[in-house]
Chain A
Amino acid sequence: MKISLEQFDKAFENRIRLQVMSVLVANDYYDFNSLKELLGVTDGNLASHLKALEKEEYITVTKSFIGRKPNTQYSASDKGRTAFKKHLEALENLIRQQKG
């Protein structure tokens, strides 16, 4: 049975973006390398998805240095948290509708 995805957030259509968002919602902040390791994705891939989420203003980026190494921290914005919650609710609604 096919389900239409119209009510879903376009930004979360991509699996990795949804995964990034769920990590950032569960944590105050997360750094680039830990995200990369956790999700098992390449640098470029992760960077492009983070850019997309940043463009939507779903995440905020804080750049700093530890010694000479760049250390970029990401955190979910209020807008991003709300969007994520809505997306999950839409998923849950779908399941409920199918049961009923």
Chain B
Amino acid sequence: MQQEDIYAEINSIRNLMERSSKFISLSGLSGILAGIYALIGAAVGYTMIYREHSGLRLRDHYANDPLVYWPLFLVALGVLVLSLITGVWLSARNAHKKGQSFWNPGSKRLIASVSVPLISGGLFILILIFRGEYGIIAPASLLFYGLALVAGSNYTFSDVKWLGLLEIALGLIASLFPGYGLIFWSIGFGVLHILYGSIMHFKYDR
């Protein structure tokens, strides 16, 4: 056996170990798009809360006004659904390009580990809405989303862990500044996603 053969052998083993246990077709582009949806959603939300008065921006509503709360909730839900559809679609396309199936042990484990914090967070936020605790919804969504990413990062690119830790930090900071939820939400779901998606796209997709 030649020395290069051994190197090739060890490399192929390493590659196989990683490929078999992780879902590595996660699309960077879908991260960028999810970030853009979130920013558009935040802008729509902003116009619901603030209105221009002869050059001055005045706050018409607070986010805890029930009149504005449900539309705001629907906008957030729309952003979430659209992001999920884009993510699944582009990642499936990515997997197909690499000759892998989208539904493999890696993706199953990724979904299983992400869903526990995500579903508990979703239920928690619904409870917060029904109890009228509007002020901590934005921080809670950032926190649980960050926890889900950290939990899932074992089964995909390890970069996801850093995104998760940043979302958690942002969620904690947001909970210290009530009234600025929309801004932190835009940074966490908009700006961070666009940054992360671009990095992933150039690092792995090309």
With contacts A31-B105, A37-B101 taken as known, whether A95 is within 8 angstroms of B1 at the C-beta atoms is: no
A46 to B137, CA, bound (A): 51
Provide the residues of chain A in CB contact with B17, threshold 8 Å: 22-23, 25-26
Q: A68 interface residue, CB < 8 Å from B?
A: no
Q: B104 interface residue, CB < 8 Å from A?
A: yes
Provide the residues of chain A in CB contact with B6, threshold 8 Å: 3, 91, 94-95
Provide the residues of chain A in CB contact with B105, threshold 8 Å: 27, 30-31, 34
Question: What is the distance, in angstroms, from A35's C-beta to the closest C-beta of chain B?
Answer: 8
Question: What is the distance, in angstroms, from A1's C-beta to the closest C-beta of chain B?
Answer: 7
Q: Which residue of B lies closest to A87 (CB)?
A: B13
Q: A41 interface residue, CB < 8 Å from B?
A: no
> CB-CB contacts of B89-102 with A at 8 A, as 1s and 0s?
00000000000110
A95 in complex: contacting residue of B3, B12, B18, B100, CB < 8 Å: B3
A37 to B98, CA, bound (A): 13
Q: A18 interface residue, CB < 8 Å from B?
A: yes
A30 in complex: contacting residue of B7, B9, B20, CB < 8 Å: B20
Question: What is the distance, in angstroms, from A27's C-beta to the closest C-beta of chain B?
Answer: 5
* A interface majority secondary structure: helix
Provide the residues of chain A in CB contact with B18, threshold 8 Å: 26
Interface of chain A residues 12 through 44 with chain B (CB within 8 A):
18-19, 22-23, 25-27, 30-31, 34, 37-38
Q: Which residue of A lies closest to B105 (CB)?
A: A34
Q: B10 interface residue, CB < 8 Å from A?
A: yes
Q: By the criterion of a CB under 8 Å from any partner CB, how many residues of chain A are at the interface?
A: 22
Query: CB distance B10 to A23 under 8 Å?
Result: no
Query: CB distance A23 to B104 under 8 Å?
Result: no
Query: CB distance B10 to A22 under 8 Å?
Result: no
Q: A63 interface residue, CB < 8 Å from B?
A: no
Provide the residues of chain B in CB contact with A22, threshold 8 Å: 13, 16-17, 20
Query: CB distance B1 to A88 under 8 Å?
Result: no
Q: B21 interface residue, CB < 8 Å from A?
A: yes
With contacts A25-B17, A98-B3 taken as known, whether A34 is within 8 angstroms of B10 at the C-beta atoms is: no
Interface centre among A31, A34, A88, A95 (most CB of B within 10 A): A34
With contacts A26-B21, A27-B21 taken as known, whether A37 is within 8 angstroms of B1 at the C-beta atoms is: no
A3 to B7, CA, bound (A): 13
A18 to B1, CA, bound (A): 16
9 pairs, A vs B, C-beta closer than 8 Å: A2-B1, A19-B12, A22-B20, A26-B20, A27-B21, A34-B105, A38-B19, A91-B6, A91-B9
Additional pairs, 9, CB under 8 Å, beyond known A3-B1, A19-B12: A3-B6, A22-B13, A22-B16, A26-B18, A27-B21, A31-B105, A38-B20, A91-B9, A94-B6
